[in-house]
Structure 1
Amino acid sequence: MQNRGSGPVVRADIYVRISQDLTGDELGVQRQEEECRKLATQLGMEIRHVWVDNDLSATKKDVVRPDFEAMLQSKPEAIICWHTDRLIRVTRDLERVIDLGVNVHAVMAGHLDLSTPAGRAVARTVTAWATYEGEQKAERQKLANLQAARQGRPYTAGIRPFGYGDDHMTIIAEEAAAIVEGANMILAGESLSAVARKWTESGLQSPRSKVRGAKAWTLRGVKKVLTSPRYVGQSTYHGEVMGEAQWPPILDPEVHYGVVAILNNPERFSGGRRTGRTPGTLLAGIGQCGYDGCTDTVNGRGYRGVPVYGCAATHTRTPRSIADDRASKATLARLMFPDFLGQILESQNAQDGRSGAQLQSQAQELRERLDGLAVAYAEGTISLSQMTAGSAALQKKLEAIESELVSTAGIPPLDPVKGVAGLIEGWPSLPLPTKRAWVDFCCIVTLNPARGRHMSSMSVDDHVTIEWRDVSE
């Protein structure tokens, strides 16, 4: 023990750390600090500073301990810790502490005099055994986790997953409903931002964010939930699907893997075509470019703050409001012709309310999502097991739809009682895919280039050319 009257008082730094703080209340590091302060009093030392790394590992190479680094830079006169393994767990960190040339005092492990060769030798030996035990413990834990994953048991050491209770198996109804709604929003062409806002405004919190005091959902957090195999009842280990889980699923496989294909497709973030994503505009992929020699269809985009349609080569910049209004009115006008409506009603499948056009659209979406899974695997954003499981689920759904298509007439839905009057009245509130199916079934829409004219001087007919399709085709 240091003699208080033998010389200047040493000003020591206290360092405290725990690897996991599941509750976020920092009680563990507070207890360590109390014990370290008692030791400082016994040693006759003053406290210069207290350094705290809460909820941080000291063995992982990719984890930086901010306060540990700051303490080394501050050149302390001495260090007090609860136990030496709170301060140093691996040799690389020990050598950095040795370079300081100071004494280390531990509540539970005694004094390490790093200023002498003998003290440094003892410290290296203690750290070597600590490293060995840490590695052994990690290997045992890995084997235990792998075995649990293969048996479909949940990993319960961490914070509960969104949608499930503290046992990681019992479904929480409100959160599960939000997951289903979020997945359907992505399939309908909405963004991760929209889902994040929806969940946040509903007062739902990520369990991990709740512990850390955050309220709003992040895009990363939403994506992690919607793409996790856990929600289709799959047990995983390091991203690889290990088999069926013991907990109940929340999402249907075709819904989940459709979302995975959309969210993990690299083109989603590059401004390119979003594979598997439902078109968000009326004429995207339907309207044709009217430039001579161009065979492309158009897609929605912006031009000087105005939403427009244009082909890949930007031959045309037709205002969306003009094109959508013209195509909608032309479609409804075509349906008012008695011969057209009569032939539709005769050919409509009376046994199934779903139309061939709808089924074709669904089948195409599934094909694109299958492609999206393959692209995501090629880019390394999902594993082989995820792609295989997802492809099987989507392929099964695709086969069912293609089988159903055999007996349909290939037309959009129409209520035979309300007829065209009901369709006209309800047109503004129809789902976008239904509107698109009707427009494509009734009309050939061509969007014309300006050919040197100013946009404001062009009439509706200058912008848009409509040809009605023959129903017999």
Structure 2
Amino acid sequence: MHRFPDRDALVDVAAGRRWTYAELAADVDALALGLLALGRVGSRPEAVVCWHTDRLVRVTKDLERVIALGVNVHAARAGHLDLSTPAGRAVARTVTAWATYEGEQKAERQALANLQAAKAGKPYTAGIRPFGYSEDHLAIVPAEAEAIREGASMILAGESLSAVARRWTEAGLLSPRSIAAGAKAWSLRGVKKVLTSPRYSGQRTYGGEVMGTAEWPAILDDATHYGVVSILSSPDRFSGGPRTGRTATTLLAGIAVCGVCGDTVSGRGYRGAKVYGCRWTHTRTPREVADKKAETATLARMVCPDFLPTVIAMNAGGCDADTAHLQAGLKSLRERLDGLALAYAEGAISLSQTTAGSKALRTKLEEVESKLSGVTGLPPLDPVSGIAGLIGGWADTPLPVKRSWVAFCTIVTLKPANGKHARNMTPEDHVSLDWHHLAEEGEE
């Protein structure tokens, strides 16, 4: 029985007919399912009493389930429906059809009102407040907003969703929805949903499409938001490669390329062995073989007589630590633009998000390009120990620095087996290496 009308009215209907009732149901769906269950076990009620027939059944399929029970329906405000006769069933179906029509009309009116509110930038305040904003869905909650900014920065820096989830959980900043569900920690899905939501860049969406600027203040700027969206929405996410939200754990992931398709490779396992391979698995190059070749070639390039003069010349051209940082930022922005396009092609984000994101990232890209003005960047280099110190301490050099120098010095191409068995392949069969930044390039 429906919760809104006074339940006493329904009890009175039963009492006036000297009926006893076995159950009072406050939920329409629960009542219909309960009746059906009783019908299946052969313990059907003699009649059903409800406030109004459209409170019992609102769509035809539900009515047919009640008809199948073969019981009469008595409504406190709509009389008696004799479902045992063709005429009674016809009346019931007509009443239900009109109830369905009214329900659909109401839904359309509500959808139109929601759309208009979205276009005006107004928040959708039904339900639990979003993480980062107060109960009115407008005012920023400072501690949560700062956590969102920090999480976005971590993703852009190459850290994982897991790292962000741990940081937020350890800070005791659970989302209101998680608290309501009794969760004790952030899930990766929950973190991703927050960091990719247009809400946090001050945009109002409806049905997944960006409608325009929202009434509430943004927590993230557009370039940051869409940079994160590109990383976390890209179908090409893998450990250590480009457009990824994970910290690099292998030397050549995202640096070496497949000799067949030209895509960058990722680290993976194959029959218990650690290998590098592209998404199409054209190659399964043993990591140990590829890493050793790449590191040896990098160090060999560094000891070449022309290498130090080349680096000095590049620095003399204005490439200081700041410009190297800008160069890295330029590469990252271009990858994020590619990531947005790929995410849209795969259906991970909408067209409106892609358009808005591309505009924001291109604006940022133009700013960085204007600052660089053609300066070439270098990986980090200790100004005291220089190249000699880098070579001498290579074994203890952090992986990110090693990756930077390998990418700067070499072009690593991994070759397919071409029918050969792995145990019969030499390192040269697996890996092809060329050098970047030769003396001729520096002299041009």
CA RMSD of aligned residues (A): 4.6
Q: Which residue of 2 aligns with 1:96?
A: 65
**Mapping for residues 433-472 of structure 1, pairs under 5 Å:** 434-443=401-410, 445=412, 454=423, 472=439
Judged with a 3 Å threshold, the aligned counterparts in structure 2 of structure 1 residues 107 and 464 are, in CA distance, closer, same or farther, namely: same
Q: Which residue of 2 aligns with 1:363?
A: 330
The alignment status of 1:159 with 2:128, answered yes or no, reads yes
Equivalent position SS for 1:354:
helix
Whether contact under 8 Å (1:303, 1:317) holds in the other structure is no
Q: Which residue of 1 aligns with 2:222?
A: 253
Judged with a 3 Å threshold, the aligned counterparts in structure 2 of structure 1 residues 195 and 103 are, in CA distance, closer, same or farther, namely: farther
The alignment status of 1:173 with 2:142, answered yes or no, reads yes
Judged with a 3 Å threshold, the aligned counterparts in structure 2 of structure 1 residues 310 and 391 are, in CA distance, closer, same or farther, namely: closer
Whether contact under 8 Å (1:51, 1:71) holds in the other structure is no
Q: How much does 1:154 deviate?
A: 0.7
**Mapping for residues 64-463 of structure 1, pairs under 5 Å:** 68-69=32-33, 71-75=35-39, 76-77=44-45, 78-81=47-50, 84-105=53-74, 112-115=81-84, 120=89, 123-124=92-93, 126-188=95-157, 192=161, 195-196=164-165, 199-200=168-169, 202-266=171-235, 276-277=243-244, 280=248, 281-287=250-256, 298-310=265-277, 314-315=282-283, 317-320=285-288, 323-324=290-291, 327-328=294-295, 331=298, 335=302, 340-341=307-308, 343-348=310-315, 353-356=321-324, 359-417=326-384, 419-420=386-387, 430=398, 432=400, 434-443=401-410, 445=412, 454=423
Judged with a 3 Å threshold, the aligned counterparts in structure 2 of structure 1 residues 119 and 462 are, in CA distance, closer, same or farther, namely: closer
In the TM superposition, what whole-angstrom CA distance separates every residue of 1:329-368 from its partner, at most 9, and x where no partner exists? Answer: 7646765778744652453265752344x54554344334
Whether contact under 8 Å (1:330, 1:466) holds in the other structure is yes
Q: How much does 1:199 deviate?
A: 4.4
Equivalent position SS for 2:205:
strand
Mapped to 2, the partners of 1:275 and 1:420 lie a distance apart of 27
* Structure 2 stretches lacking a partner, 5+ long: none
Judged with a 3 Å threshold, the aligned counterparts in structure 2 of structure 1 residues 419 and 216 are, in CA distance, closer, same or farther, namely: same
* Structure 1 stretches lacking a partner, 5+ long: 1-14, 17-27, 59-64
Counterpart of 1:147, as a letter, is Q
Whether contact under 8 Å (1:288, 1:298) holds in the other structure is yes
Scaled by the length of structure 1, what TM-score is found? 0.71
Equivalent position SS for 1:309:
strand
Whether contact under 8 Å (2:242, 2:254) holds in the other structure is no
**Identity between Structure 1 and Structure 2 (%):** 58
Equivalent position SS for 1:170:
coil
Q: How much does 1:170 deviate?
A: 1.5
Mapped to 2, the partners of 1:207 and 1:217 lie a distance apart of 11
Equivalent position SS for 2:244:
coil
Equivalent position SS for 2:69:
coil
Equivalent position SS for 2:48:
strand
Judged with a 3 Å threshold, the aligned counterparts in structure 2 of structure 1 residues 184 and 136 are, in CA distance, closer, same or farther, namely: same
Mapped to 2, the partners of 1:469 and 1:248 lie a distance apart of 46
Q: How much does 1:230 deviate?
A: 1.3
Judged with a 3 Å threshold, the aligned counterparts in structure 2 of structure 1 residues 283 and 381 are, in CA distance, closer, same or farther, namely: closer
Q: How much does 1:176 deviate?
A: 2.6
Mapped to 2, the partners of 1:437 and 1:406 lie a distance apart of 22
Judged with a 3 Å threshold, the aligned counterparts in structure 2 of structure 1 residues 176 and 295 are, in CA distance, closer, same or farther, namely: closer
Equivalent position SS for 1:163:
coil
Mapped to 1, the partners of 2:165 and 2:38 lie a distance apart of 42
Q: Which residue of 2 aligns with 1:19?
A: none
From the two aligned structures, give the one with the greater helix fraction. Answer: 2
Judged with a 3 Å threshold, the aligned counterparts in structure 2 of structure 1 residues 447 and 152 are, in CA distance, closer, same or farther, namely: closer
Whether contact under 8 Å (1:442, 1:468) holds in the other structure is yes
Counterpart of 2:38, as a letter, is S
Mapped to 1, the partners of 2:172 and 2:186 lie a distance apart of 10
Q: How much does 1:234 deviate?
A: 0.9
